[in-house]
């Protein structure tokens, strides 16, 4: 079992995107050796949350310093695909981190997050390939680090992590992706829209994994899921999460009717 956790941490610490992809798949292969018994004794020491492997480029900047994504131009489409590639790269690290950070969880928890990591790696490859087709490369443009900053803020507690990374930040992707697809279709880039359709369907499942394990931890701690989730959202996002919600996708991803009503302000 130690081989599995060591392999996950090696993938998390890999800086080169290609190395991260291959090591993530290698770690997936180690799942067969993972047994229910004695996870605690083989878990080892998690990688420091402030030290995930990231390439030298893209340079990380504040969101206000990001380039404009004018979809009517080739440059704007490259910038948008680059932003999506960066989200997928971060999502690989987020899934790997969940699989190596939180001890004493059921075997299925580690299996679920490694499956998510492998699918995020596939998404990154799809998006990077189209970015290259457009004449760009991952690292060409600056990016922001908002997703990973929330990983740092929630590293202390699996409950907070499950509530806020998949169920808030990644769920926002479910809300905004259909609109981005329409923009690509409007400028004739139907291939990008098709890629986003693949990613969108998988991401519903990824957010559902977060929903399921959030509720598991709530049950273990005798907490009420809806009240706990809303309290955490208010604590970490005092200004609200903003934007229009994709109600159908969120329902598929495990959001309760009560949660959705509260998020809508009803």
For residue range 99-121, list pLDDT tens digits in order.
999 998 999 999 999 999 999 99
Looking at residue 266, its pLDDT comes to: 66
Dist. CA 234–CA 247, nearest whole Å: 20
Looking at residue 68, its pLDDT comes to: 81
Looking at residue 32, its pLDDT comes to: 77
Radius of gyration of the chain from its Cα atoms, rounded to whole angstroms: 18
Domains of the chain plus CATH, in order, are 58-263 (1.20.1260.10)
Which of 131, 14, 22, 34 lies closest to 84, judged by CA? 131
245's enclosing H/E stretch is none
pLDDT at 50 over 80: yes
pLDDT at 37 over 90: no
Looking at residue 36, its pLDDT comes to: 63
Looking at residue 8, its pLDDT comes to: 95
Taking each helix axis as running N to C, give the angle between helix 17-29 and helix 74-101, from 0 to 180 degrees, rounded to the nearest 10: 40
The whole-number average pLDDT for the span 4-28 is 95
Dist. CA 105–CA 209, nearest whole Å: 14
User: In the predicted model, what is the mean pLDDT of the chain?
Assistant: 93
For residue range 235-255, list pLDDT tens digits in order.
999 888 878 899 999 999 999
The whole-number average pLDDT for the span 147-170 is 95
143 has which bridge partners? 60
Looking at residue 41, its pLDDT comes to: 66
Looking at residue 38, its pLDDT comes to: 58
Looking at residue 131, its pLDDT comes to: 98
pLDDT band at 157 (very low <50, low <70, confident <90, very high): very high
pTM recorded for the entire structure: 0.95
Tokens of 261: 């009503």
Q: How many residues does the chain have?
A: 266
Dist. CA 147–CA 140, nearest whole Å: 19
For residue range 163-192, list pLDDT tens digits in order.
999 999 999 999 999 999 999 999 999 999
pLDDT band at 82 (very low <50, low <70, confident <90, very high): very high
């Amino acid at each position: 079992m130690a081989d599995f956790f060591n392999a996950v941490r090696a993938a998390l610490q890999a800086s080169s995107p290609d190395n991260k992809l291959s090591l993530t798949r290698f770690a997936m292969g180690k799942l067969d050796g993972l047994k229910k018994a004695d996870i605690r004794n083989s878990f080892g020491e998690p990688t420091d949350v402030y030290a995930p492997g990231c390439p030298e480029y893209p340079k990380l900047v504040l969101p206000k310093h990001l380039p404009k994504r004018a979809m009517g131009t080739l440059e704007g489409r490259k910038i948008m695909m680059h932003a999506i590639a960066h989200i997928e790269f971060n999502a690989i690290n987020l899934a790997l981190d969940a699989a190596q950070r939180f001890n004493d969880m059921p075997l299925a928890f580690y299996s679920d997050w490694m499956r998510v990591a492998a699918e995020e790696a596939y998404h990154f490859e799809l998006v990077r390939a189209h970015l290259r087709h457009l004449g760009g490369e991952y690292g060409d443009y600056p990016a922001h680090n908002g997703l990973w900053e929330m990983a740092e803020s929630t590293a202390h507690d699996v409950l907070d992590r499950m509530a806020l990374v998949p169920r808030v930040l990644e769920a926002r992707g479910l809300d905004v992706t259909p609109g981005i697809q329409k923009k690509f279709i409007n400028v004739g880039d139907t291939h990008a829209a098709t890629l986003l359709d693949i990613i969108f369907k998988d991401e519903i499942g990824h957010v559902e994994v977060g929903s399921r394990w959030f509720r598991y931890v709530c049950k273990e701690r005798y907490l009420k899921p809806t009240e706990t989730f809303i309290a955490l959202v208010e604590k970490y996002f005092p200004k609200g999460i903003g934007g229009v919600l994709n109600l159908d996708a969120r329902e598929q991803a495990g959001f309760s009717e009560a949660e959705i009503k509260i998020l809508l302000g009803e």
